[in-house]
Amino acid sequence: MTVVVSNRGPYRFVARPDGSFDARIGSGGVASSLGPLLTSGAAGSDAAWIAAAVDDDDRAAVRGGAVDASGVSLTLLDLDPSTYRLYYDVVSNGTLWFLHHGLFDLPRRPRFDRRFREAWDAYSSVNLAFASAVADVAADGAVVLVQDYQLALVPGMLRRSRPDLRIAHFTHTAFCGPNSIRVLPTDIAEQICASMATVPCGFHSARWANAYSASAREILGAEAEIAPTFVASLGPDPDALATVAASPATAAASTALADTVGDRALLLRVDRIDPSKNIVRGFHAFDTMLAEHRAWRERVIFVARLNASRETMPEYLAYRNEVEQAAQRVNERWGTSDWQPVVLDARDDFPSTVAALLRYDALLVNPIKDGLNLVAKEGPLLNERDGVLCLSPEAGAWDELGEAALRIHPYDVDQAAGALHTALGMNRDERAARGARLRALAGARTPSDWLDDQIRSAG
């Protein structure tokens, strides 16, 4: 038996007027990658998934007994909404995400006070609810795959209550290093590291695995027993991408994009609006390129497909405003009557994203830190023009794709501008060689490989 444990499940439930519920594919990388594998039986015929009911409709579906997922036994935890908000917004996203991605403005944030301690109690209680649900569901000797930083305490809780289980914890983000982990209150850093140390811990990149090991050793001491790490990079699902690429919706989106771009070059980025994605500096680099290389004026369009993210958090609302202002400044400085240099597209529409990935001449992926960045792999697999990948080495995908990508420094705007100029002006032979190599590297692993690695590493 395989049990997947994650904050979000493979489906979200939406109430109909008649009181019944629609089951829709969940958002997020875990749901989109693991969901099809578990519902198809790839993890065994008795797979189970435990997740949180994340909104009112999910909670109503739980209370109405309407939670059902074909091919997998799905349990959604009906958690108190205020407790869930503290666990998710304050600790998981407001603290751990910022910590692991190096986003804190340390002279000002974080501030650990009584309010944070209340949130940490909520985080602990939610993790305990997940661990208790797993203990109730899992058969003797079952494999339990705990996903991500929101559930960092679950491994230790399960190890104590169900020592028969084979458990792995997989972190989808970057992991902070031994200096940064000390930003957390000492007892909280100890709880996180002590829990994770009880089971094999997986990461998309050896860099993040090494950072975790160093942090755990720093916090727990030289004599502590720390379970081994493993590296299991996630790959795209090529069949699923091909299906979307061949759809009428993508064809229509491709026609609309062609009308926008015309015969100009297309620079593309696809991201959530998140400070870790470094979107504003990407616009600054494009602005610098246009200033220093006049030939690109009116000959290139920068399409930024950006989805809203975590808009309950003031930091994210403020960053969205910065992103919009940065794009507007470029357009005001360089735009003409028949050329808008930056096209900001905030539609949550995957066929339109696929259409853009098919068409780009250069793809910009310049995060401050990123556990993987699946777009850096999806782009080369889909692209039909030998588009050049401009990739930050701070993305976990750099480990696999760096040899065929152009290195782009996430903080050095001048260097980034030069990389964009090089990518857009690269000769056909070099583009073709890089493109072929990128396709081979990006397609080397699939979601099935990633799932198999977790199951095999559980201990």
Helix, strand, coil % in the chain, rounded to nearest 5: 50, 15, 35
Residue 35 has pLDDT above 80, yes or no: no
Name the percent of the chain lying above pLDDT 90.
85
Residue 278 has pLDDT above 80, yes or no: yes
Q: Please give the average per-residue pLDDT across 182-190, as a whole number.
A: 98
Q: Give the pLDDT of residue 352.
A: 97
Q: Please give the average per-residue pLDDT across 47-51, as a whole number.
A: 92
Beta bridge partners of 388: 362
Among all chains, which residue has been given the structure tokens 């692209």?
383
Domain-by-domain residue ranges, the chain? 2-80+123-234+448-457, 238-442
Q: Please give the average per-residue pLDDT across 39-65, as a whole number.
A: 80
With left for phi above 0 and alpha for psi between -120 and 50, is residue 342 left, alpha or beta?
A: beta
Query: In this predicted model, what pLDDT tens digit does every residue of 324-372 receive, in sequence order?
Result: 999 999 999 999 999 999 999 998 899 999 999 999 999 999 999 999 9
Q: Give the pLDDT of residue 28.
A: 66
Residue 23 has pLDDT above 80, yes or no: no
Q: Label residue 95 by pLDDT band (50, 70, 90).
A: very high
- 238-442 and 2-80+123-234+448-457 share a CATH fold: yes
Distance of alpha carbon 303 from alpha carbon 266, whole angstroms: 7
Burial letters 77-96, b for 16+ CB under 10 A, else e: bbbeeebbebbbebbbbbbb
Q: Give the pLDDT of residue 296.
A: 98
Cα dihedral 254, 256, 262, 266 in deg (nearest 10): -60
User: Helix or strand or coil: residue 184?
Assistant: coil
Residue 131 has pLDDT above 90, yes or no: yes
- The CA-CA-CA angle for residues 31, 32, 36, to 5°, reads 95
Q: Please give the average per-residue pLDDT across 150-160, as a whole number.
A: 98
Q: Give the pLDDT of residue 27.
A: 64
Q: Give the pLDDT of residue 41.
A: 61
Residue 61 has pLDDT above 90, yes or no: no
Q: Label residue 195 by pLDDT band (50, 70, 90).
A: very high
Among all chains, which residue has been given the structure tokens 């979601």?
447
Average pLDDT of every residue of the chain: 94
Q: Give the pLDDT of residue 29.
A: 67
DSSP 152-166: TTHHHHHHHH-TTSE
CA torsion through residues 405, 410, 414, 415, sign: negative
Q: Which residue would you say has higher pLDDT here, 38 or 164?
A: 164
Q: Give the pLDDT of residue 43.
A: 59
Among 35, 54, 53, smallest CA distance to 43 is for 35
Among all chains, which residue has been given the structure tokens 């556990």?
371
Q: Give the pLDDT of residue 55.
A: 85
Residue 374 has pLDDT above 70, yes or no: yes
Q: Give the pLDDT of residue 57.
A: 83
Q: Give the pLDDT of residue 239.
A: 93
What separation in angstroms does the CA of 80 have from each of 129, 174, 315?
Answer: 11, 29, 25
Q: 4, 455 in Cβ contact below 8 A?
A: no
For the domain bounded by 2-80+123-234+448-457, which CATH number is listed? 3.40.50.2000
Residue 63 has pLDDT above 90, yes or no: no
For the domain bounded by 238-442, which CATH number is listed? 3.40.50.2000
Residue 231 has pLDDT above 70, yes or no: yes
Q: Please give the average per-residue pLDDT across 98-111, as a whole number.
A: 96
Q: Give the pLDDT of residue 9.
A: 87
